[in-house]
Amino acid sequence: MKLSATILALAIYVSLGTAQSQEWGQCGGIGWAGSTTCVSGTVCTVINAYYSQCLPGTASTTPPVITPTITPTTPPSTGPTSTASIPPAPTGSNSNALARAAGKLYFGTATDNSELSDAAYVAILSDNSYFGQLTPANSMKWDATEPEQGVFTFSGGDQIVSQAKAHNQIMRGHNCVWYNQLPSWVSNGGFTSAQLTSIIQNHCSTLVSHYKGEIYVDIALQAARAADPGAKIYINDYNIEMTGAKATSMLNLIKDLKSRGIPVDGVGLQCHFIVGEVPTSLQSIMQQFTALGVEVAITELDIRMTLPASTALLAQQETDYKNVISACKAVSGCVGVTVWDYTDKYSWVPSTFSGQGEACPWDANLQKKPAYSGITAAWA
């Protein structure tokens, strides 16, 4: 079986300084007239030419600004993925079967290598009536695939690709370049702009070439297109799911890339939400992206709550999941939804957000929660 291929855009983040915009606030970008410094403990970080954001962290040095030279190419087709690369649709009333019946490519989940030793977990993961797509949470990131410069290891990613292939599931790679989980030789290397550009191109080309024709990958634009001309190229980001400066900046970036013939086929909206706070503008934002001639996908969905969970919170979470799925279903260019692991047993939320959790549609005992009913009701 040939699995469909997608690729994520190059996300080069450049630290700029510290002092007055609040944490997570905008601090720069084309047309930005506000403060260009951030509060203490945060760093003004270039997300793209149109948007810089105050992210947690400190900067001990001022790294070089990176401006890769990219030769425009013929714009890629923005039509749907070839049906020859899409696994046969399962039947029944489970989440992926219903998503396929609704005309989408998949309902999927993230997973990680350590979880594959849990037989009860894998039994559900392997059922493609539930999940038609897998995303490796960590094993394709830079620190995992090139821990030493020029020394590549793909064993972790290969294991998850094999898991997906064995069960007729699409594989989405995640990811080549972002501001976190960099090996120390990259983050502390003191490279010049030209050196780092070459390093990024080599890393992305090697990664994509290894998985050529096999995965949905999120990566760097031109290097990825050159390594696998048949791949779909996505930009994946957070906080672009609601009306605001960052969504506007991403819309402007997509317009700019397409106007210069630089390959971009889709936008991934991560969708790490809080119970009761799912943005009402989600469907509208997705429609604005698809109007530019790109696909969209919900790539990392979870909806966390303040613990302990209550009947009321679980009921609201059910509604929230239903609303997110309904938004994707209503947008013809939304190709699918991926939850950021399907079970609370392996959720990243409790270790990241103190006092919060219960973000996934299955509980820690691998039992379906009301949220799962919201998902299937929306797809039906």
Distance CA 271, CA 102 (A): 21
Q: In terms of Cα–Cα distance, which of 219, 66, 64 is closest to 142?
A: 219
Is residue 300 flagged as an active site residue?
yes
Tokens of 74: 């013929």
Q: In terms of Cα–Cα distance, which of 183, 171, 182 is closest to 212?
A: 171
Q: In terms of Cα–Cα distance, which of 235, 258, 266 is closest to 11?
A: 235
Task: Spell out a b/e string for 364-380, using b for 16 or more CB atoms within 10 Å of the CB, else e.
Answer: eeeebbbbbebbbebbe
Q: Is 168 exposed, middle or buried (0-12, 13-18, 19+ CB in 10 A)?
A: middle
Distance CA 307, CA 373 (A): 21
Distance CA 325, CA 316 (A): 14
Q: In terms of Cα–Cα distance, which of 78, 39, 215 is closest to 133?
A: 215
Alpha helices in the chain (DSSP H): 95-101, 119-125, 142-145, 155-166, 184-187, 193-210, 221-227, 245-259, 282-290, 311-330, 349-352, 370-379
Catalytic residue (one of 241, 300, 318, 358): 300
Q: Which residues are catalytic?
A: 300
